[in-house]
Structure 1
């Protein structure tokens, strides 16, 4: 399942909990568009702000709304015992895979990061995607650490944070990682503005924020790259530069939150405190970019 477009939807949340109706509709929208998989409760899904019970309920909603499209579920938490409990909940709800970022308060050593994945993969009955997200977790994976973890049972993919700007550098980055991991483990790119470079450099899957809100737009880019049409994939990504610039300036989560509200796909507020939505000026910028790019549905 770790190939093509994996779309990561917003989990509309306020201080009363998850908006079940809006969340189910967002997931169903992705399934109807034909995404290859759905990433529930990733960073865009706000997993770290939800209780175990809220997360388990959200997984059940996502699996049902996905209507057979494989759902990968974020299970990150501060303590290994909590991660294991979340993994059990996800598997019971029908998750096809799990996504694990090494959340931490105290800095983790490489051996501690490896130990987390060792403990979790030992208990899994579904494949796991390693979530390398240093901007959020402050944990920095070396390629050597990725290589160690990738040889654990049930590891199926690695989600890397972007690739270098130049095509040769992007290819070298992907090749260097591939040289250290088994052939059974796919490499996926995130950092949406680098996705076209990552896919054309040999990444197997795009773990996509924009795919969770505008799946057909993301699918067009993904399918072009899969067909070997690097020029078209690059052109499609370049056309989205105004959106990528907003992502870099404000963070993709807040931009997607504003987009969902503007398009009537989620209420307001839809982020859990202490997170706050964009101010009025930034919201106007988001609306202007969506209109200019034709991202209105």
Structure 2
């Protein structure tokens, strides 16, 4: 069973303009993550543009990632879909392929109620047998998981963890406490939002679901290990060093910045799926300057 702890690195998914995944380019992004020793790889998350890919292309991406990881690093794969039956099918695909877990968001066009989300997750967990991590991503889904709903879902067999946006440092302790009181002791609480993740780890978060780690695993691992050791001074110093990258993430979104960084480093030649546009040239120059100045690669 995957632990849902430590550093989970979320790479982009190189694909053609018509949504055809490039397996070779994806494997080239996965290989350094395996070598660096990340605790898991988050394939087809929001950074991996899962919502823009067909079921067939998602499976192509998963097969390539599993082949490259070779069982050395567990793969958590995005299985979100607008329809419950489609999410069940994607979860079944993931389990059959050998993914360690599924990352399930509350995707919808029509706003969902708590009960609708509960039934959706229940159907996917029971209909697939795949271990599930709840993906709380209100910035894209416009649905927020409350501690009460997380607590209900944590009682469902097969739902083991939560990935939620890290709140600001002032709020994180209270946020974690409310969640911890709602879930069993073995239910794992992890955070995304790289710019606040370090303080969330120090406050007791058990996993960091990181966009930056999908391209720059080493500095992210250093931050994580310092937090795990309780070395707040070192953790904050390491985190402050990459603050220019966090600033770019917050200003232009992590997805767009990571695409620009990957292209600057010559790792793959791909743009985000339309209608998302690449960053303008002056901003791409800023991204390149930060990557080079910080020596992130």
TM-score between both structures, scaled by the size of structure 1: 0.96
Residue 208 of structure 2 aligns to a residue in which SS? strand
Query: Match for residue 103 of structure 1?
Result: 107
Equivalent residues in 2 for 1:147-158, closer than 5 Å: 147-158=151-162
Query: Match for residue 138 of structure 1?
Result: 142
1:124 shift after superposition? 3.1
Q: How far apart, in 2, do the equivalents of 1:61 and 1:196 lie?
A: 31
Query: Match for residue 272 of structure 2?
Result: 271
Could you report, residue by residue, the CA deviation over 1:255-292 in whole angstroms, capped at 9, with x for unpaired residues? 0000000001111x331111111010100110111112
What is the aligned counterpart of 2:169 among 156, 165, 169?
165
Query: Match for residue 191 of structure 2?
Result: 189
Equivalent residues in 2 for 1:75-90, closer than 5 Å: 75-90=79-94
1:123 shift after superposition? 2.0
Identify which range, 189-198 or 124-133, moves more after superposition: 124-133
Could you report, residue by residue, the CA deviation over 1:71-112 in whole angstroms, capped at 9, with x for unpaired residues? 000000000000011001111111000000010000001100
Structure 1 residue runs of 4+, over 3 Å off?
none
1:67 shift after superposition? 2.1
Residue 163 of structure 2 aligns to a residue in which SS? strand
What is the aligned counterpart of 1:246 among 242, 245, 248?
248
Query: Match for residue 281 of structure 2?
Result: 280
Over the aligned positions, Cα root-mean-square deviation in angstroms equals: 1.0
1:175 shift after superposition? 1.3
Identify which range, 157-166 or 199-208, moves more after superposition: 157-166
Do 1:107 and 1:139's aligned partners in 2 also have CA atoms closer than 8 Å?
A: yes
Q: How far apart, in 2, do the equivalents of 1:191 and 1:240 lie?
A: 14
Q: How far apart, in 2, do the equivalents of 1:276 and 1:248 lie?
A: 17
Q: How far apart, in 2, do the equivalents of 1:46 and 1:220 lie?
A: 27
1:143 shift after superposition? 1.1
Residue 10 of structure 1 aligns to a residue in which SS? coil
What is the aligned counterpart of 2:179 among 161, 177, 180?
177
Aligned residues: 293
TM-score between both structures, scaled by the size of structure 2: 0.96
Q: How far apart, in 2, do the equivalents of 1:270 and 1:94 lie?
A: 28
Residue 77 of structure 1 aligns to a residue in which SS? coil
What is the aligned counterpart of 2:42 among 36, 39, 47?
39
Identify which range, 115-124 or 50-59, moves more after superposition: 115-124
